[in-house]
Every structure is written in C-alpha cells, then in structure tokens.
Structure 1
C-alpha cells in the first residue's frame, strides 16, 4: 500500500465519521454535503480520489476551486459552494485550506470542519500568526 492510498483511506474514514455525527445531530436527516477545499500551490484536482470514493458511497461532494488571490477571495469562493448546497455541510480543508474552512465554517449550514494535514487557526488568527507561534526553525 502506498502512503497516498493510506492517507486517502484515513481521510475518507474521518469524513464518514463526521458525516455520521452530522446525521445523528440533525432533526431532518438528508443528504450530507461534503465540500473539499484545497490548499495553496495546488488545485481542486488533488481531491479527485477522495471525491470519487465519497461519491461512490452516496455523499454529495463538491470541490472548491480557489482563486488563491487572498484569503477573502478564497473564503468567498468557498462560500459560493456552501450556498449551492441543500442541507448541512461538512467542510474539509487541506494545508492552507484549513485556514479557509476556519473562516467559512461560521456559516450556519456548516456542521463540521475536518482538517487534513492543515493549518487549524483560531477564529481571527492568520496563517502567518499561526506559523510564527511554532517553536524553532524545524528539525
């Protein structure tokens, strides 16, 4: 098994677990909408394998294509995709996508945030502030 395959399986497990929590907590159980948010230096195609697995399992899955021109534009792109969903949303972010989902997660339709090897800033904290808070220069 390759590392990418194992990470993909782990991600699917995390998203399915989050979706079950959303279903259990919803008054009216309907389609679970999963919105995948890529990081910087990437595009939405990086989610292809995860997208296909989740679609096969019956989830409504959308992939945001970020303009990567700034946080506000990236959050706006994510918000447009959230607005197109019918029902509760799970946001999944990778890398810089974690910063995006932290901000976009304030939408009342968002029920869960899943961070996949992602920045996980506090609300109002920037990615730069988060990075500056890390000790040392690495190994």
Structure 2
C-alpha cells in the first residue's frame, strides 16, 4: 500500500512539475513575442527638396501592419528648426519610437535622435555626420553624379533642385508625373543647414540601420556606405533612386520593422 501511495505522490509531483514548466514556457514565449513587437511608433523625417507627402506609400505599408506613424513637416530653415519640430513630434509619442530620416533628414535625426523616446534610428539614403561634422563635408567626399541638380544658393540663401534634372537626379525610378509633383511641393531649403555641425550624434548611443540606395544620383552610394560603415550602422542595400522609400516602400518598411523588433 505504501508503495502505491508513494507512486501516486510521485505522479502528482510529476504532473505539477509539467504544469509549472508549461506555464513558464508559455509566459516566456508570450513575453518574447511582446518584446519583439513592442515598438509601434514610427516618426518619419523628410529631407531637402521634398516635403512629408513623399512618405505616403511607406505610411500606408506601416499603418496596415499596426504601426503608429507620424510624419514631420520640416521648415528646412535651419538644422536647429528641423530638430525642434522633430522633437515636438517625438514628445507626442506614447512610448519607444523608431526615428527615420531621409537624405538631409538623416542629419536631423542624428541630432534629434537623442530624444529619450527614440529607441533606434533608420537612415534612408541619408546623411549621417558625427560630432562637429557638417553635411557638406560628407557631400564633398565623392564627385556628384552628372544627373545631380542641386543649384547654388539664391540671394536669400535658399537652395533648390534644378527642375530639368529633378526626375533623373532625384527620383529616377518613379513616374515623371510623380516626380513633377515632388518638384512642385519641395520646401525652401536654407543652405546654412548643410554647414551646421552636429553637436551630439545620436547614432553613437542608439541602434542604427542604414539603407543604401544603389541607384542614388543625389547622394553617392559610395558616401552612404562610407558613413554607415564608419558608424557600425547595420546596412541594407536596395536598388532604387534617392527616393527609394517611394519606389520601394515595402523594402524600406522591412528595415524599419526589423529596427522595431530589437
């Protein structure tokens, strides 16, 4: 009888152990899934010669996947002003946020990325200066493509993109109709922004992801690779023009989603 009772007791202990293990495994797995998808906020920062409307396709991809997306409208009047409006957008986020910058927007997020809500940075064919470096320093490290249409500043210090070169030089892999709209909606970018140094590069302390647009005619892919390698940024190469986020929104979204799961 004692042997039978002992066996029953051992069986009960065994079943109890199985239940505890199952509970712990399920809880751990659930926590892992929650952690993997915990960052749902994305803030998008456009660059020079553009405005926030260019993010529409990427916005649609990300929102359909459950992300809360905010699009910054940079005044483009100075680095300080663009950082200020980006920080305002970050202030409104309800938790950890992925901060994404395109082109000149990369310089902006390099400074604004120090905001405490920023969990990771994503550079899309973007500039990525270090402390005390300026954007123009990097733009001068490789010869411009023949298609590049950045004009000299006008008498007000504003830089525009040559209309005759905008499609081929800025947005070569989207339709001429869409490129014409982008040209018509570009902001007035003040050249002094290119010459303003970074004071604290956020990529030194935040996980960073960089997209090299391999067909870029506005920022040489060579420059993009050099910046990202220098900073140990995780690099993804995507075949596309300077506006790869418009022509390849799904591919760009994958990089942002990967950043949100780290």
Q: Normalization by structure 1: what TM-score?
A: 0.74
Q: For structure 1, list consecutive stretches of 5 or more residues without a partner in the other structure.
A: 1-22
Quick one: which of 33, 39, 45 aligns to 2:47?
39
Structure 2, unmatched stretches of 5+, are 1-34, 147-262
Q: Which residue of 2 aligns with 1:111?
A: 119
- Count matched residues: 112
Q: State the alpha-carbon separation in 1 of the partners of residues 39 and 125 from structure 2.
A: 26
- 1:61 match: secondary structure: strand
Conservation of the 8 A alpha-carbon contact between 2:103 and 2:127: yes
Change (3 A) 1:85 1:137: closer
Equivalent of 1:82, from 90, 100, 103? 90
Q: Is the alpha carbon distance of 1:57 and 1:72 closer, same or farther for their aligned partners in structure 2, counting shifts above 3 Å?
A: same
1:138 and 1:42 map into 2 onto residues whose CA distance is: 19
Aligned to 2:245: none
When normalised by structure 2's length, the TM-score is: 0.40
Q: CA deviation at 1:82?
A: 0.3
Q: Could you say what the CA RMSD is over the residues aligned between the two structures, in angstroms?
A: 1.7
Quote the residue 1:13 is aligned against: none
TM-superposition CA deviations, 1:62-117 (whole Å, max 9, x none) = 00000010110000010000000010011111110000000001112111110111
Q: CA deviation at 1:135?
A: 3.9
Work out which of the two has the higher radius of gyration on C-alpha atoms and give 1 or 2: 2
CA distance in 2, matches of 1:93, 1:50: 13
